[in-house]
Amino acid sequence: MLIVQKYGGTSVANADRIKAVAERVAKAAKEGHKVVVVVSAMAGETDKLIGLANQISTNPGEREMDLLLSSGERITSALTAMAVEALGYKAIAFTGRQMGIITDAVHTKARIEKITGERARKALDENYVIVVAGFQGITGTDDVTTLGRGGSDLSAVAIASALNADLCEIYTDVDGVYTTDPNIAPEARKLEKISYEEMLELASLGAKVLQTRSVEFAMKYEVPVVVRSSFNDNPGTLVTREDKDMEKVVVSGVAYDKNQSKITVKTVPDKPGIAARLFKAIADANIVVDMIVQNISIGGNATDISFTVPKTDSKKTLALTEKIAGELEAKGVDLREDIAKISVVGVGMRTHSGVASQMFDTLAKHGINIMMISTSEIKVSCIIELKYTELAVRVLHEAFGLSQ
Ligand code: ASP
Ligand code: MG
């Protein structure tokens, strides 16, 4: 088999852990598999580099930021290749560029356009273990890019797809994907398997095991992904295509996201083109809007629009929105950062009714007010006050019978 193994920051946090990773890689090679390893930077390294940049400049350039951040993964790729060599296996480390990972030029959140992988294919034929620095690529004009926080997951999935790997293993510090965060609800269970779609919802909802874009990519190209721990031999969770069994379960997981802010534009004219103008400006700034709620008009000619954006973009979005609100003669703009999004997810919702009402009822029973609601075919999300996050997770996990 050709296996891609990705190791996250905690799995390569120091020399001993890198040696342990090398043992696991060597074991797979010994069993006769071809192995491509993708590594993250050592735990905390990326944040440290960002902190350094912020000490130097209040507004560090994004091109230089990418060059800086890509160095974290280069360090671990070289060290991991050395560790594998030390165990008597041939190993070679590649940067994103040497792997032929070509991206667009949107610095700090670039998209992969293609992976040439010529050197990698040749090295695999010559029985090398390949160790790729995750999280990075190169533009057509030779600038280093990074793929967004958590982007090594995307590197791994995209490489697995490009090389037609049989399996993409994502090694992390948890045993797999859980019904919810076990730190909040200790009775949370590990799932044996989960569909791409559910995983996508859970990932984007803030269950931090896999980067959202990596799941989108895996779903599109049907890359079989296993999430498992690098600290033990437990089997992990398979992320795969939906099957009949999965539909029997109404709710598979409860997720929360504390990284959203809510912006409300008060009393804007209720006429064509207003939302288009506002959200175009936000999209043009590369800010991802999540939930949007527009009320029915008050007295027929004005309305409120509320929406959520990532907390990291809230100041930038507020400035943009205030500018447009001024032009539209709206009554003002409100920013609330003390909110959280809480969601229940399951492909079974397509064939079962009553999930939303049960969710609202459960929150109401515990005195938790709902500020915004959104639904899709397989999820119901509510914006609530930040301080109720843990309580909401626990009571919903219980109400949907996820503990058994
Ligand atoms: N080192 C990068 C980050 O911390 C990428 C990754 O770990 O996947 O976001
Ligand atoms: Mg990660």
Percent of the chain with pLDDT over 70: 100
CA of 209 to the centre of ligand 2 (A): 6
Q: What is the per-residue pLDDT across 287-336, written as a single tens digit (0 to 9) for each? A: 999 999 988 776 778 899 999 999 999 999 999 999 999 998 889 999 99
At residue 216, what is the residue type? E
What's the CA gap between 402 and 103, in Å, rounded? 40
Query: For 349, which DSSP code?
Result: G
Q: Give the whole-angstrom CA distance, residue 394 versus residue 401.
A: 11
Query: Are 296 and 165 part of one and the same domain?
Result: no
What values do phi and psi take at 40, rounded to 5?
Answer: -85, 175
Ligand 1 atom nearest the C-alpha of 148 is 9
Ligand 1 atom nearest the C-alpha of 149 is 9
Domain that holds residue 321: 255-399
Select from 139, 170, 165 the least CA-distant residue to 154: 170
pLDDT score at 204: 74
Whether 160 and 265 map to the same domain: the answer is no
pLDDT tens, position by position, 174-225: 999 999 999 999 999 999 999 999 999 988 776 778 999 999 999 999 999 9
As a whole number of angstroms, the distance between CA 24 and CA 117 comes to 24
CA of 154 from ligand 2 middle (Å) equals: 10
Using the 3D structure, point to which of 122, 143, 173 is the last residue of a domain: 173
The total of structural domains in the chain comes to: 2
Q: Is the pLDDT of residue 404 over 80?
A: no
**Ligand 1 atom with least separation from CA of 135:** 5
10 CA to middle of ligand 2, Å?
Answer: 9
Atom 5 in ligand 1: residue holding the nearest Cα: 150
Ligand nearest to the CA of 203: 2
Q: Which of 127, 155, 173 is the last residue before a domain boundary?
A: 173
Give me the mean pLDDT over the 80-104 stretch. Answer: 98
Domain containing residue 30: CATH number: 3.40.1160.10
CA separation, residue 305 to residues 142, 267, 269, 387, 390 (Å): 42, 8, 10, 24, 28
Flag whether 315 is in a domain. yes
Residues 166 and 264 occupy one common structural domain: no
What pLDDT sits at residue 248?
Answer: 85
From 173, 191, 210, the end of a domain falls on: 173
Residue whose token pair is 């843990």: 390
Pocket test residue of 11, 152, 212 for ligand 1, highest count of atoms within 8 A of CB: 152
Per-residue confidence (pLDDT) for residue 116, from 0 to 100 = 97
**Atom number in ligand 1 closest to CA 73:** 1
Ligand nearest to C-alpha 72: 1
Indicate the pairing of strand 302-310 with strand 332-336: unpaired
Q: Which structure tokens are listed for 258?
A: 């504390």
In one-letter notation, the amino acid at residue 158 is A
pLDDT tens readout for residues 109-156: 999 999 999 999 999 999 999 999 999 999 999 999 999 999 999 999
Given CA atoms 129, 131, 132, 134 in this order, what sign does their dihedral have? positive
Residues pairing with 372 in the sheet:
383
Does any domain span residue 206?
no
Q: Are 133 and 69 in contact (CB under 8 A)?
A: no
Cα-Cα-Cα-Cα dihedral of 285, 287, 288, 294, to 10°? -80
**Cα 12 to middle of ligand 1, angstroms:** 12
Q: Which residues are CB-contacts of 57 (< 8 A; sequence separation ≥ 6)?
A: none
Alpha-carbon distance 74 to 93, whole Å?
8
The answer to whether residues 11 and 131 belong to one domain is yes
Q: Which residue has the tokens 């064939």?
A: 351
Rounded to whole angstroms, the Cα distance separating 183 from 343 reads 17
Binding-site residues, ligand 1, Cβ < 6 A: 9, 40-41, 46, 72, 134-135, 149-153
Q: Are residues 272 and 389 in the same domain?
A: yes
The rounded radius of gyration (Å) of the Cα atoms in the chain is 23
Cα distance between residue 368 and residue 387, in whole Å: 10
User: Residue 253's pLDDT is what?
Assistant: 95
| 185: in domain | no
Quick one: 153 and 274 in the same domain?
Answer: no
Rounded to the nearest whole angstrom, what is the distance from the C-alpha of residue 221 to the centroid of ligand 1? 22
Which residue, by CA, sits nearest to atom 6 of ligand 1? 150
Distance 58 CA to ligand 2 centre (A): 26
Global pTM reads: 0.86
| Claim to verify: residue 163 and residue 290 sit in the same structural domain | no
> Model confidence at 61, in pLDDT bands (50, 70, 90)?
very high
- 152 Cα nearest atom in ligand 1: 8
Ligand 1 atom with least separation from CA of 151 = 8
Of residues 341, 334, 333, 335, the one with CA closest to residue 386 = 341
80 alpha carbon – ligand 2 mean position (Å): 18
* Ligand 1 centre distance from Cα of residue 46 (Å): 6
Q: Which of 202, 173, 149 is nearest to 311 (CA)?
A: 149
Q: Which one of 73, 147, 168, 230 would you pick to mutate in the ligand 1 pocket, going by the greatest count of ligand atoms within 8 A of its CB?
A: 73
Question: Which of 10, 12, 40, 173 maximizes ligand 1 atoms within 8 Å of its Cβ, making it the mutation to test the pocket?
Answer: 40
Closest ligand 1 atom, residue 211 Cα: 8
- Decide: 154 and 99 in contact? Cβ < 8 Å: no
Measured in angstroms, how far is the CA atom of residue 249 from the centroid of ligand 1?
A: 33
Segment 344-375, tens digit of pLDDT: 999 999 989 999 999 999 999 999 999 999 99
